[in-house]
Structure 1
Amino acid sequence: MQHSFKIAAAAALCATTFAAHAELTMDANLELDTTYQSKVSKPATNARDSDLNQGGRVEFNVGGKATNGDAFVQARGTLLIKKDGDTGTDDMWVQFGNAGMDVKMGRFEAMDLFPLGKDTLVENSGYGGYHANALRGRFGKDTVHIAPGFNAGPARIEVGFVYSKEKGEARGVRPAVSFGSGPVTVRVGAESVKKVGSTTGSTNGFGASLGYALSADSSLNLNFAKMEDDKSVGFNATIGAAGVGLILDKGANGAKNNTFYAAYSFPLFGVKGATITPAFSYAKGGKGTESQTAARVRVNYAF
Structure 2
Amino acid sequence: MFGGDVELDINSYNTQSGPIFTEDNIETNDEYNQSGRILLDVSGERTHRGNFARFKVQPLMQTDGTFGLDDSWFAFGNDTGLEAKVGRFEAFDLFPLGQDVFVEYNGDTSDSLYSDGQGYIYQAKEGRGRSGDAGQVLVSKASGDLYAEVSTLFGDRTDLFQGGTYHGFTIQEDSKNAFIIRPVLAWTPGSWTLAAGAETNLVDDAIVDERGQDISERDGYGTRLSYSEGAWSLNANLAYMDAHDEENLTLGLNMLWHNFGLGYIHARNEIQNVKVGSSVEFASGDYDVDTLYTSYRFPEVLGIEGFDIYLGAYYSQIDHEEISNLDEADRYGGRLRFKYLF
Q: Given the two structures, how large is their TM-score scaled by the length of structure 1? A: 0.85
Conserved in 1, the CA contact under 8 Å of 2:73 and 2:88? Answer: yes
Q: CA RMSD in A?
A: 2.1
Aligned counterparts, 1:125-140, within 5 A: 125-126=106-107, 127-140=119-132
Long gaps (5+) in structure 2 = 108-118, 161-177, 271-284
User: What amino acid does structure 1 have at the position aligned with 2:148?
Assistant: I
SS class of match (1:272): coil
Alignment correspondent of 2:10: 34
Distance 1:121 1:35 in 2: 9
Alignment correspondent of 1:292: 331
Conserved in 2, the CA contact under 8 Å of 1:168 and 1:197? Answer: no
Check 1:213–1:43 CA distance in 2 against 1; reply closer, same or farther (3 A cut).
Answer: farther
Check 1:255–1:270 CA distance in 2 against 1; reply closer, same or farther (3 A cut).
Answer: same
Offset of residue 145 of structure 1: 0.5
Distance 2:71 2:290 in 1: 30
Conserved in 1, the CA contact under 8 Å of 2:61 and 2:68? Answer: yes
Cα deviation 1:220-279 (Å, max 9, x = unaligned):
000000012100000001122221110001101223211111111113222221111111
Aligned counterparts, 1:185-204, within 5 A: 185-193=193-201, 196-198=206-208, 199-200=213-214, 202-204=217-219
1:255 aligns with 2:247: no
Count of equivalent residues:
277
User: What amino acid does structure 2 have at the position aligned with 1:79?
Assistant: P
Distance 2:127 2:25 in 1: 38
Offset of residue 97 of structure 1: 0.9
1:206 aligns with 2:260: no
From 306, 309, 315, the equivalent of 1:276 is: 309
Offset of residue 167 of structure 1: 3.8
User: What amino acid does structure 2 have at the position aligned with 1:165?
Assistant: D
Distance 2:144 2:305 in 1: 37
Distance 1:28 1:214 in 2: 27
Alignment correspondent of 2:257: 239
Check 1:280–1:168 CA distance in 2 against 1; reply closer, same or farther (3 A cut).
Answer: closer
1:184 aligns with 2:227: no
From 50, 59, 83, the equivalent of 2:39 is: 59
Conserved in 2, the CA contact under 8 Å of 1:157 and 1:176? Answer: yes
Distance 1:168 1:112 in 2: 21
Conserved in 1, the CA contact under 8 Å of 2:54 and 2:75? Answer: yes
From 229, 232, 238, the equivalent of 1:218 is: 232
Distance 2:49 2:100 in 1: 39
Cα deviation 1:51-107 (Å, max 9, x = unaligned):
111111111101122221221112111010111111111000111111242111100
Conserved in 1, the CA contact under 8 Å of 2:120 and 2:269? Answer: no
Check 1:242–1:260 CA distance in 2 against 1; reply closer, same or farther (3 A cut).
Answer: same
Alignment correspondent of 1:148: 139
Conserved in 2, the CA contact under 8 Å of 1:135 and 1:171? Answer: no
1:171 aligns with 2:179: yes
Alignment correspondent of 1:96: 76
User: What amino acid does structure 2 have at the position aligned with 1:265?
Assistant: R
User: What amino acid does structure 2 have at the position aligned with 1:132?
Assistant: A
Distance 2:252 2:23 in 1: 26
User: What amino acid does structure 2 have at the position aligned with 1:150?
Assistant: K
Distance 2:206 2:63 in 1: 33
Offset of residue 168 of structure 1: 4.5
Q: Percentage identity across aligned positions?
A: 30
Offset of residue 46 of structure 1: 7.6
Aligned counterparts, 1:97-116, within 5 A: 97-98=77-78, 99-116=80-97
Distance 2:198 2:263 in 1: 23
Moved more, 80-89 or 39-48: 39-48
User: What amino acid does structure 1 have at the position aligned with 2:183?
Assistant: P
Long gaps (5+) in structure 1 = 1-24
SS class of match (1:269): helix
Q: Given the two structures, how large is their TM-score scaled by the length of structure 2? A: 0.76
Offset of residue 165 of structure 1: 3.4
Conserved in 1, the CA contact under 8 Å of 2:132 and 2:159? Answer: no
Distance 1:282 1:166 in 2: 30
Alignment correspondent of 2:165: none
